[in-house]
Structure 1
């Protein structure tokens, strides 16, 4: 295996392996990475042998069904880990200990302890890391930061409320971590990112009963509403659920002094007295986050990514605290 602590020259292609080759790997990353001249997709590993073989047919490289064999036999620079929440075990740890840069799709894990363990391994190894919070890499997020600069965020309302994903693991708390962890983590993260402060406490409540009657093996909350307080005084109200119509509401509203900024990952709306700006997003955030990550791998600059694993762990702390508060009925102090 190749260690990226020995920087790859600009003339060399980065050798990339994928652990997990489902929809997010294909649609989010492989679609464009496979067309870039400065990377080479050389290995795929998945428990689904059919999926691995299809990936090899489409993108080349070698198929593996064992992570350690892939890491040992592929001379990699970079590993993309695109797994369901419950499937994160030791993949990131093995890659980091091998000196490989790691890109991890969100959410980081199904619980807090595993993500903390993975982060410790990445930090100890000192490798470049990134997490797939791609709302950060939209052009409109940059515009939002510019418009909000120097102003105090008072309150934020974040929503991920829509329909019901069909995969069986998603509806089971022990496998997905629930909707606040699985999808709504995007709006929690972009809220935290633009509030630009650390969360200090969480209180949340959830409802159950409807989904369990409609769908087999459904034990997650139908809806969750959470209040998150930040060190700088800002308050986030985050809501999520899956009983509404598809696409009902996904986005974040930031309330500042004489300014409201709405971000839904495709459009930014900035309202100030007597004026309303509507700015469409024109870049591909997956491509943007991948380019920043791979450039960081070449330079060894761990701070040049949009979101490192260590940074993403702060968001994961919040979503896990929301789950804990729903379960216990108590206010959860952060970090916990």
Structure 2
């Protein structure tokens, strides 16, 4: 395939980031932008020099895309977006989380496999060169413990503060740290969670957890703790520390710290992970080979399974096994 006909479903902030990157790829032709908000769709379409659509059906029929970037709120994933695209033979790049239920995620995964399409998920932390170096450093090390956190404020869209629409901070935001744990430490097999609620009382329609602590059993028995809070009015601390017998590897937002006895190395990523993940997806579609995609769709489903188990554990007050993905 010489040129990938690329469509966009969702025209918000993340979609426009991906759109700017798509416009810099010579092998991409943007064939349409779809959003339920006409003004937003038309504004984004104007940026890309393409046509605006209000329905996925119209986008498929008139745009005839080979692939689509889906940047919609978590509650919008499913039958009317992802599955319609896949059933029409459209390769899929999906922003995280891939859904709000494993039932929906499994249906999309099965459809992608049945059609032999490329499915990718926007866990962009995997694409930072600092994360890649961390993975290389840890390959031959025995991990003893890891601790991660996402401490910040309430994301501004109104859907984010409603659990039925976002899944809450763990599912929508700290999911990046869960995915990083899976990527660097090992599969999350069991979780036990605690939560705090009722602190934020001045935000309308807010019903998500104020804070969570999730203890995990990963890989071959590595204990990991991931904490989250969104009660601040500023971003504070985000990242993962992985401890081996003689080394600490800390991965932050585009940063890497490697700490050994008497020595500390600091690195800052020079690459744009959003640009790299989209180019990897486009190349996978062009070549019919998903090998360069660092987070294929099934990996996104596994991370979703871990975050959903963490939320369920907090509700039930007991440890839970994470449902597997084959």
TM range (shorter): over 0.9
The alpha carbon displacement at 1:245 in A equals 4.4
Partner of 2:87: 97
* Alignment of 1:52 onto 2:37: no
Paired residues for 1:206-285 under 5 Å: 206-211=195-200, 213-285=201-273
* Alignment of 1:40 onto 2:29: yes
Quote the Cα distance in structure 2 between the aligned partners of 1:21 and 1:163.
23
Partner of 1:310: 298
Contact 2:150 2:228 in 1 (8 A): yes
Give the length in aligned residue pairs.
323
Quote the Cα distance in structure 1 between the aligned partners of 2:49 and 2:233.
39
Partner of 1:144: 134
Partner of 1:3: none
Unaligned runs of 5+ in 1: 1-7
Contact 1:269 1:277 in 2 (8 A): yes
Q: Secondary structure at the match of 2:100?
A: coil
Contact 1:127 1:302 in 2 (8 A): no
* Alignment of 1:116 onto 2:106: yes
Normalised by the size of structure 1, how large is the TM-score? 0.93
Partner of 2:74: 85
Quote the Cα distance in structure 2 between the aligned partners of 1:242 and 1:231.
28
The alpha carbon displacement at 1:36 in A equals 2.2
Normalised by the size of structure 2, how large is the TM-score? 0.96
The alpha carbon displacement at 1:14 in A equals 1.0
* Structure 1 segments (4+ residues) deviating >6 Å: none
CA RMSD of aligned residues (A): 1.2
Contact 2:3 2:286 in 1 (8 A): no
Unaligned runs of 5+ in 2: none
Quote the Cα distance in structure 2 between the aligned partners of 1:248 and 1:174.
26
The alpha carbon displacement at 1:259 in A equals 0.5
Quote the Cα distance in structure 2 between the aligned partners of 1:245 and 1:171.
14
Partner of 2:154: 164
